[in-house]
A and B are shown apart, each in its own frame.
Chain A
Amino acid sequence: MELILDNISCGYGKRVILQGFSAAIPTGQVFCLLGPNGIGKTTLFKAILGLLPLKAGRASLDQSDLRTLSRPKRARLMGYVPQSQFTPFAFSVLDVVLMGRTAHLGPWGRPGRVDYQVAEDSLARLGLEFLRDRYFTELSGGERQMVLIARALAQEPMFLMMDEPTSNLDFGNQAKTLRIIRQLADQGLGVVLTTHYPDHVFQCGDQAALLKPDGSQLVGPLRRVLTAENLSEAYGVPVAVLEWPDKRQDLTICRPVYD
């Protein structure tokens, strides 16, 4: 299955923020959206999710235009892992994950045996069984992030849409999250994520899109897009990309260079 974004423009109200964005994102890959603050990453993200109407262009999944799909249908194709994790109510972790089943229920429906099984499996897939009966509001930021990934998995989607999945996490939890993202993609899910850290893209990504301040966009295999030159241009600071050959894996590191 392939998510195809064909010449998309999006924005709020009359204001167009991002123009003419195209990409093809197959399942089994991690597609990373990068760019400076305010460039339109989140806007594009919301437009793909159908939370904002497209100003122009077409987003389709295997020939079917996303606009023609009902909300539940869309939710069965795309799971959303949001950045904020706030709720004023102390739901149990299992209940939160069960909410991911909503798109599979009728309008008056309630989760049944199968839904509970899927929710438990989603928790198990991320090794979170031990959180099952805890209250979501009592969890740490890293645990909440994982539970929301489990909720998205319970939607049984083809694609996961993750908005800055590593931005509120400590170093260890960032690494764990990136590893899980890679694993999920290897298991066949398509992942679209936004991030501020090129390093994180090197750790888990396949393709990258770099939105530049001049309105141009670079889309393609990440090593071709995330070069020192492109990153320096996009972020307005000199950047070095270092390759560190290691016996077990290819390590690529990105950091700013000061004069």
Chain B
Amino acid sequence: MSFSSTLTRRGPLRGPRRENLALLALGLALLLTMFISLGLGRADISWSETIRLLGLKLTGQAVDPALRREEVVLFSIRLPRILLAFMVGAALSLAGAAYQALFRNPMVAPDILGVSSGAGVGASLAIVWGLPTIGLHLMAFLFGLGAVFLVVFVARIVGQGKSILVLILVGVVVSSLFGAVGSFIKYLSVDDQTLSAMVLWLMGSFAQSGAWRNAPIMAVALALGVIPLYLTRWRVNALAFGEEEAQALGVNVEKLRLFVIFASTLLTASAVALCGLIGWVGLIIPHLARFLVGPNFSRLLPATLLGGGLFMLVVDSVVRVALPGEMPVGIVTSILGAPLFIYILCVGRKVWN
């Protein structure tokens, strides 16, 4: 049984011209959204002040001391959060696209190999042990990576590293195991504050972006994940017809697969470790990106990066400005994600075989 979602592109323009235009449009939309998002917020800063401050910053001029408060709000609070939201959305979406290509399955999300549940356990332990924030990020990251290594390792033993199905099934098993361990830790924590800290972390949020602390970390992780995927952006396509065909086309499938898993896991684990669980983005954005530029990974890669970043930025801006309190962004992505996905299912052609 397999599902094929071949959202086919229609309209007057087909081929590379349309795809280049789509990428350009995404890029422009992203810049515009970043600017608007910078100007939006609880602190009352007028658009003219925003534009003036941005102009001063971009040209490297000194800022008038009278605008000191506005400068801090724009460039030490909003800007790092905007960049972090963009990078996390980009990372999750690209990881999703890579996993979908790897598993030849458009229904796969970036946490298919257990990253999220692993990270959840790491974060919960860090909260129980009262580690500082940076320790929490580190624990979540290491446990996320650890869960995936466990999956790959067990799958190698069970399926001699050959079957992609074994990998997915072991992923499900390990996810479930780590999920249970996470629940166990929550069950043991008698103190309400610890418990609510854990639950809140699992919901995913950009509220704790720690000014400029997290954005550079995410930038490094994003670069480390994007580069290997960029290098293999053509080769990954050859996996679309299955393992044997890819081998017959001259691809060393086992090596390529580990390479892609490593890069995608790095992307997902760092995003989850810094911002908690933010669902649906990594599943839906690759679909929409394929709708715009097609499945060729050379174009899908920039499209998911831009599209994922844009989507996350829009959602986080709405959360920041329009919703009361600091609603975890993961809740909003899930509420938006479910109907959006149903829409994709309706538009996409369904093939059951």
Contact = CB atoms under 8 A, between A and B. Distances in A.
A207 interface: no
B5 A88 contact: yes
B231 A108 contact: yes
A99 interface: yes
Contacts of A108: 231-232
Contacts of A91: 237, 240, 294-296
B248 A88 contact: no
Contact of A95 (B5, B14, B231, B296): B296
Contacts of A161: 248
Contacts of A126: none
A65 interface: no
Contact of A89 (B14, B15, B233, B295): B295
Interface in A109-159: 109-111, 133, 135, 137-138, 155
A100 B4 contact: no
Interface stretch (A17-25, A26-34, A73-81, A181-189): A73-81
B104 A95 contact: no
Interface residues of B, number: 39
Contacts of B298: 110
A128 B2 CA distance: 29
Nearest to B291: A90
B326 interface: no
B294 A87 contact: no
Interface stretch (A43-51, A172-180, A228-236, A250-258): A43-51
Nearest to A89: B295
Contact of A102 (B7, B14, B101, B249): B249
Interface of A: 46, 49-51, 71-76, 78-80, 82, 84, 86-92, 95, 99-100, 102-103, 105, 107-111, 133, 135, 137-138, 155, 161
Interface of B: 2-9, 14-15, 101, 104-106, 231-235, 237-238, 240-242, 244-245, 247-252, 290, 294-296, 298, 349, 353
19 contacts: A49-B248, A51-B247, A78-B248, A80-B249, A86-B2, A87-B104, A87-B240, A88-B104, A88-B240, A89-B6, A89-B290, A91-B240, A99-B237, A99-B238, A99-B249, A103-B250, A105-B234, A110-B298, A135-B8
